[in-house]
Amino acid sequence: MPVSFHLCQPGRGASCGACCGLYNFRDHSRAALTERLAEQTARLRAVPKEAGAYRAAARELTESRREAPLFPAVRVCPLLGFIDAEQRQVGCLGHPKVTGGVDLRDCGVYRASICETFTCPSFGWLDDAQARLVQAACPDWYLYGLVITDVEFVRGCLRLIERELGGPARPEAMVARPAVLDAVRRLFALKETAADRSPYAAVFGRFTPDTEGEPVSRTINYARLGVRSAPEDDVVLCLGYVSDDANRLIAARERVRLHVRAVTRALMD
Ligand code: SF4
Ligand code: SF4
């Protein structure tokens, strides 16, 4: 069953701007994105809420970008920003609810009608319980967007938990138990915290740009590394590890395994 609620602004701290190009940079660290969003927010808050001023500001913001998009074929919208004073919620600064009534989304990189109706694949590929688990475990704009849009990562983590448990893992039961939810939060937070990755490699999760700038899925060359595949490898790839070294791959698997075991230990307590 597809998700029955809106994934973009589900509340309780979670919000997402991934399809507006939020993470489409080599350096998609929290610090770099916070700086960019704050700059876009400050610029757009200062201009009159009308199309001419918004278009000019959007052009300036795009031209002054310090880094080119990682995937040139994927658009990055300068109208994305923080829609609350505390900088905890990412969202569209051209949306009528943010501008005070006027729809300025045509001044961004898509037509407003596309922004209004677009739903990413997570709407169809995650179910309600999985999406609620992500929302509860990632109550912040940076991590939520990284995880909710990575269906392979969410499914891969749940598969590993089930493998460790030797039976089904129910996401709704995980949400209901604070200690379990904390452990799931630390597992999902590996998207931000996992050590020993190459932070500025041309990768986003399991994707890298092809010659046209489109995202293509990466794989692990087991023959070249001289190792066999392992159940953790899907998650390891989703975390953005560049597996050019067998020892690094083995260490990354172990990191994932430890976090999965922490979840199953909490479930069995
Ligand atoms: S990537 Fe998906 S969840 Fe995120 S804002 Fe876009 S449509 Fe919504
Ligand atoms: S105008 Fe569209 S693409 Fe740009 S931030 Fe708003 S919703 Fe995203």
Residue 116 corresponds to which amino acid?
E
**Pocket (CB within 6 angstroms of ligand 1):** 7-8, 16-19, 118-120, 122, 145, 148-149
- Which tens digits make up the pLDDT trace of 68-109? 999 999 999 999 999 999 999 999 999 999 999 999 999 999
CB 151 within 8 A of CB 121: yes
Long-range contacts of 154-162 (CB under 8 A, 24+ apart): 154/126, 154/130, 155/130, 156/234, 156/235, 156/238, 157/184, 157/187, 157/188, 157/235, 157/260, 158/130, 159/231, 159/234, 160/231, 160/232, 160/235, 160/256, 160/257, 160/260, 161/260, 161/263, 161/264, 161/267
91: phi then psi, degrees, rounded to nearest 5 = -175, -175
Q: Whose CA is nearest to atom 2 of ligand 1?
A: 120
Q: Say yes or no: CB of residue 218 within 6 Å of ligand 2.
A: no
Q: Say yes or no: CB of residue 98 within 6 Å of ligand 2.
A: no
Q: What is the pLDDT of residue 74?
A: 95
Indicate the average pLDDT of the chain: 96
Q: What is the pTM of this model?
A: 0.96
Q: Say yes or no: CB of residue 108 within 6 Å of ligand 2.
A: yes
Q: How far apart are the first and last CA of the chain?
A: 30
Q: What is the pLDDT of residue 200?
A: 79
Q: What is the pLDDT of residue 257?
A: 98
Residue 251 corresponds to which amino acid?
A
58/61 Cα distance (integer angstroms):
5
Q: Tally DSSP H helices, then E strands, for the chain.
A: 14, 4
Q: What is the pLDDT of residue 244?
A: 83
Every domain of the chain and the residues it spans = 18-117, 150-268
196: phi then psi, degrees, rounded to nearest 5 = 70, 25
Q: What is the pLDDT of residue 235?
A: 98
Q: What is the pLDDT of residue 40?
A: 98
**Residue ranges for the chain with pLDDT beneath 70:** none
152/135 Cα distance (integer angstroms):
16
129/155 Cα distance (integer angstroms):
12
